[in-house]
Amino acid sequence: MKNLFIAATVLVLASMVQAVPYWPEHPDGVVYHYVGESGAAKDIVYSQDGINQYREHIYDNPDCTGGESFVIEDGTVGLTGHGYYCEGSIDPVYWDYNPPLTIVREGMQDGDIWVWEGWCFNGPAIIMVQVSDETITTPLGTMDVLHVQLQTITGDGFPFGGHLYLDQDLGPVKTGNLTLVDVDGVVGVANRSWSGVKSLFHD
């Protein structure tokens, strides 16, 4: 495993963006190795566009390629789009969220609920977001995580749903039916204090 840099490095942008807990910062080139419920492996590569403050998950498996795009704003992380292309498909499938679907926000607490209303894919949609503090066990160990549940209330589009389990150091350790098993480019730490992570670098 290449310990190149830590995902929680403070990112200095043209306009200062406040760090949001439970989401990796400056993730360029970091590869997250997941395994699905069937045992199939899937890798997700983080890329970023620092000018627009975007973060992207770009995944690749034998059947489908695609990913999710997120935007980092002051104190929030919003899902802006989702797209994929599966082998044998005629056209790629895209969903765009207008405005971005807020999935993480500064000051959130266990049990908080908020509702997003906007446009997704081919029509209006309403999505309920609920967060809770939980402890889960993964191949990387037992972690205190933020569990984000997204539930569509109405809408004729196909909006993003499901579950995200976010570790404060690593970000998404579980997403949908995928569980994180290894990371290339991110330093795992025993002392999980946020300030300690930010100051830790390895060659």
Kind and range of the H or E run holding 197: helix 194-198
Task: Output the pLDDT for position 13.
Answer: 28
Task: Output the pLDDT for position 26.
Answer: 61
Closest to 102 measured CA to CA, from 92, 114, 110, 112? 114
Phi, psi of 82 (to 5 degrees): -145, 135
Label residue 5 left, alpha or beta by phi (over 0 means left) and psi (-120 to 50 means alpha): beta
pTM, entire model: 0.76
Residues 49, 60 contacting (CB under 8 angstroms): no
Parse the chain into domains and list their residue ranges.
31-198
User: For residue 29, which amino acid is it?
Assistant: G
Task: Output the pLDDT for position 24.
Answer: 67
Residues 113, 130 contacting (CB under 8 angstroms): yes
Averages of pLDDT over each 10 residues, the chain, 203 residues = 32 39 69 88 78 70 80 84 83 87 90 93 89 92 92 78 86 89 65 42 34
* Residue 60 structure tokens: 């690749």
Q: Please classify residue 62 by burial: count the beta carbons closer than 10 Å to its beta carbon, then call 0-12 exposed, 13-18 middle and 19+ buried.
A: exposed
Closest to 121 measured CA to CA, from 84, 85, 150, 159? 159
Q: 66 - beta bridge partners?
A: 59, 84
Place of tokens 């266990």: 110
Task: Output the pLDDT for position 88.
Answer: 82
Task: Output the pLDDT for position 50.
Answer: 62
